[in-house]
């Protein structure tokens, strides 16, 4: 019984970790896009 609970808890934690990594990656990508947009804006719309 105890090992079943432990296995369920481990799966739960793994799921949460995966979701957190996914969110972090999305936020990082959005930040990069924003910084890139600001850079383009600062340089007077000179596209790379």
Q: Encode the chain (48 residues) as per-residue pLDDT tens digits.
A: 789 999 999 999 999 999 999 999 999 999 999 999 998 888 876 655
Q: Residue 1's pLDDT is what?
A: 73
Q: Look at residue 44 in the predicted model and tell me its pLDDT.
A: 76
Rounded distance between C-alpha atoms, residue 7 and residue 16, angstroms: 14
């Amino acid at each position: 019984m105890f090992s079943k609970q432990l296995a369920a808890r481990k799966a739960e934690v793994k799921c949460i970790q995966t979701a957190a990594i996914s969110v972090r990656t999305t936020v990082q990508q959005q930040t990069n896009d924003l910084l890139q947009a600001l850079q383009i804006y600062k340089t007077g719309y000179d596209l790379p």
